[in-house]
Amino acid sequence: MEIKKAIITAAGKNQKTLPLQSLVDRDGVQRTALEILINEVLAAGIEEICIVISPGDRLPYKTAAGPHHNRLIFVEQHEPLGYGHAVHCAQSFTGTNPFLLLVGDHLYIPGSNKGCAQQLVELARAESCAVSAVQATHESKLPYYGTIGGRLLPNRQGVYQVDNVLEKPTPTEAEQVLSVAGLRSGFYLCFFGMHVLPASIMEILGTLLREKSPGNLHLTTALQALVRKERYLAAELDGRRYDVGVKYGMFTAQLALALSGREKEEIQSLLIEVLASRKT
């Protein structure tokens, strides 16, 4: 299973300006969130990258991509019909190939020298099937994420067979069908914002779109259908996701980048200085 293509979705109404924001990366270099994401993708061995954008956003995204702008393909989502629809807009780009999928409003901090996308791609290649990255998440955050239920594979740390997928479940729904043995009470496996998916997911999305169900099309609806068709795994990666679209999300991501980078001692000293200056 060769994964050489990637899609980054960035057309959501509340999402599209976030990848254009600048941060200081782990090397102490100022880059846009989009450029940081592209570097993550390229480090995973991806050769072709498609960005799904809103109409009229091509120029700011080309600018935000920095030195990578000439290697990007842009696809416009002309109607805001949901995340699943946004992914399907790139069908002509992926063709019959599996692909890496990322959301444009998440950043990733690995726990080792191997990036999160690289970890996921290597696992999907080894298992030759779809794999979604997940992160143990407290039930208070369930309104923000798709969530899976599944079973830990024998003799495999952090790799699960997916049995159920729900979009932003309530705690009651999660407790009923998404509990995973071994997780702390009140925690569930929520999506990391990163997947390796087969070409068949585009066929599933196309079928769902033709059915013209009311409302927006969620990717999770297609993933639940994928569960019934073929092998589908989830994996906890060595790293953490940071959703820059939530309150203080960009600040938290910047802090995490700084504390995981080469200037972490200087940042730690600055934090101590700031905290010490606060009056109690």
- Stronger pLDDT, 212 or 210, i.e. the higher one: 210
Q: What percent of the chain has pLDDT over 70?
A: 99
Token look-up 């600048």 returns 22
3-state SS assignment for residue 125: helix
Look up residue 186 and give its two tokens.
């009140």
- Judged against a pLDDT cut of 90, whether residue 212 lies above it is answered with no
Residue 263's φ and ψ, nearest 5 degrees, are -105, 25
The whole-number average pLDDT for the span 198-224 is 91
Number of Cβ atoms within 10 Å of the Cβ of 278: 6
3-state SS assignment for residue 37: helix
**Three-class SS string for 230-260?**
CCEEEEECCEEEEECCCCCHHHHHHHHHHHC
Task: Provide the domain count of the chain.
Answer: 1
Residues contacting 32, CB < 8 A, separation 6+: 19, 20, 21, 22, 23, 64, 65, 66
Return the CATH number at 58: 3.90.550.10
- Judged against a pLDDT cut of 80, whether residue 279 lies above it is answered with no
Domain that holds residue 198: 5-277
- Judged against a pLDDT cut of 70, whether residue 16 lies above it is answered with yes
Token look-up 């190939």 returns 97
- Judged against a pLDDT cut of 80, whether residue 59 lies above it is answered with yes
Q: pLDDT-derived band of residue 141, with 50, 70 and 90 as boundaries? A: very high
